[in-house]
Amino acid sequence: MDDIYINSLQPSIIYFSGIKMDSERMDAHFYHSKYINNEKQINESGMRVELLDKVILKMNSPIGWQGIPSESYLPEGIGVPLIRVQNVNDLMLDRDTLIGVQEYIYQEQPAIQAESDDIIITRVGTIGRVCRIPDKISKIAMGQNLTRIKVDANIVSSEYLTVFMATNYCQLQMKRYAYGGVQPSLTNKNIRQLLIPIPSLEIQEYIGNKVKSAEELREEAKKLREKNKEILENELELSKLEEIKIDAEKQKNKWIKEEDIEERIDGDFYHPRYNYYDKALFKLDKIGNHFKISKERINRNHIKEIRYIDLSSINNLISPQLMDVKDAPDRAQLKVKEGDVIISTLSGSKKVGIITADLDGCICTTGLVVLRSTSKILTPEYLHAIFLNELFNIQIDKYSSGAIMSGVANSDFEKMRIPIISNKSIVDKISDNTKEHFKKLLEAKKIIQEAKQDVEDLIEGNFNMDKLNESLLESR
């Protein structure tokens, strides 16, 4: 960065003297003061600084036609796990929505191969999201728009590097190298040019231990969700319902009772694949008898900022966007409170979330329906667990209408049917598991934020060495 002088930060005015400019990037954006200043801070951090290219052993990614055709996708738990962009979230691999791919495809395509301890980077569209592949996953396939790197553990730990890559110091570098307007992209060549500050091994281990603690909490949270699946399976005999559904999908027509006819007259609405509940082995009841649709809206005249929840915010945990109210889209209207269940009204999106205490007062898009409990039997956590199951979530497809963008009217959610478990202790157990699930996820998120702050403090010279020393004493 020698011979680069920042004349003004705002507006950005940079003076170059006697240096070789990047021959591939002659645009002013690439040389914006915020990027120049960012890299200057990294280089002046007092730590060893290397190009990413110098600290990795392998890098690969599926390019163009390479990769995995959608017809080769397998259900979760079958074949080799497949990671897609939506699985890379908050420095962690979101394993709840992983699908699979045939073993032979993984073996035949080195470009899609990744394994434990690798770092995955999203490089097209939403660039710069990163996660580390946990030790328990020996191998995993990559979908399009992802890059895998394997670090040289003698120089830098994968845990530390994952945290650094999520900080603003690395994110700004990625934004600098990105090209394209509507869909920004990074090349592997760009990614290799990232500047990486490398602290002592002791500091790397201190930060890495936080990542491992967060991974353990995520794993415990996943087990709690799996317990809920087991409870529902045992109580509702869902395997038998699955068999009924499979048989129903093979049917081409079915007689409908007069009392079962609704406002809809299109044939697909009454297709057997949507109406297999008639043979369910448990009691069913309409959602509207237990939850009301909340239409509480915000008054924009009395607030300056909002925490906005849209479909992209829901990925197991809900991560709202903080924005100025004048910048919020018109669809940011619905106010939510703790205990609300929010479900996407769009067919095929399969998004369901629950408003925890930290999200009370957030504003969500009108593309979500807000369900508020009125029941003495069922809890919001129970409804959340039910709609995580495809056997019940499929009702969204049934009630959807529209050609270009199919969706469900909010009032139709009241008509959807859900199973009723009369044993309150069972419902409470599901609720307690769900609450503990989110508690662990929130704790993991907090630890990750602390780790990111530690890395930023290192670069800015504000890292408290007492924390490291205390950690070393505790480990002895």
Residues 453-469 pLDDT 10s: 999 999 999 988 877 76
Q: What is the mean pLDDT of residues 339-366?
A: 92
The amino acid at 72: S
Spatial separation of the C-alpha atoms in residues 88 and 129, rounded to whole Å: 6
pLDDT at residue number 1: 46
Conformation bin of residue 189: beta by default, left when phi > 0, alpha when psi is -120 to 50: alpha
Question: How many other CB atoms are found less than 10 A from the CB of residue 10?
Answer: 7
pLDDT at residue number 405: 75
> What is the layout of strands, in order, in the sheet containing 332-335?
321-324, 305-309, 363-365, 332-335
Question: Which residue would you say has higher pLDDT here, 340 or 9?
Answer: 340
Q: What is the mean pLDDT of residues 141-157?
A: 95
pLDDT at residue number 23: 59
Nearest to 101 by CA among 83, 117, 120, 82: 82
Question: Which residue would you say has higher pLDDT here, 392 or 260?
Answer: 392
pLDDT at residue number 73: 87
Is residue 36 scored above 60 in pLDDT?
Answer: yes
The phi and psi torsions of 309 (rounded to 5 degrees) equal -110, 120
Question: Which residue would you say has higher pLDDT here, 5 or 151?
Answer: 151
Is residue 71 scored above 90 in pLDDT?
Answer: no
Confidence at 7, pLDDT banded by 50, 70, 90: low
Question: Which residue would you say has higher pLDDT here, 468 or 444?
Answer: 444
141, 113 Cβ separation under 8 angstroms? yes
Which tens digit of pLDDT belongs to each residue from 185-236?
A: 999 999 999 999 999 999 999 999 999 999 999 999 999 999 999 999 999 9
Which residues touch 378 (CB under 8 Å, ≥6 apart)? 290, 291, 418, 420, 427
pLDDT at residue number 164: 97
| Percent of residues, the chain, with pLDDT higher than 90 | 60
Structural domains in the chain, CATH included, are: 4-207 (3.90.220.20), 222-429 (3.90.220.20)
Is residue 139 scored above 50 in pLDDT?
Answer: yes
Q: What is the mean pLDDT of residues 125-148?
A: 91
pLDDT at residue number 76: 79
pLDDT at residue number 166: 96
Over the chain, what is the mean pLDDT?
A: 88
Question: Which residue would you say has higher pLDDT here, 276 or 7?
Answer: 276
Q: 3-state SS of the chain: helix, strand, coil percent to 5?
A: 45, 20, 35
Question: Which residue would you say has higher pLDDT here, 62 or 270?
Answer: 62
Spatial separation of the C-alpha atoms in residues 399 and 407, rounded to whole Å: 8
Nearest to 329 by CA among 315, 341, 313, 343: 313
The alpha carbon of residue 105 and the mean position of all alpha carbons in its chain are separated, in whole angstroms, by: 26
Confidence at 401, pLDDT banded by 50, 70, 90: confident
150, 144 Cβ separation under 8 angstroms? no
pLDDT at residue number 19: 54
356, 440 Cβ separation under 8 angstroms? no
DSSP character string of 148-185: EEEE-TTT--HHHHHHHHHSHHHHHHHHHH-B-SSS-B
Helices first, then strands: H and E counts in the chain: 12, 27
Question: How many other CB atoms are found less than 10 A from the CB of residue 380?
Answer: 21
Q: What is the mean pLDDT of residues 153-171?
A: 96
Q: What is the mean pLDDT of residues 111-123?
A: 95
Structure tokens at 37: 């200043």
The reply to whether omega before 11 is within 30° of 0 (cis) is yes
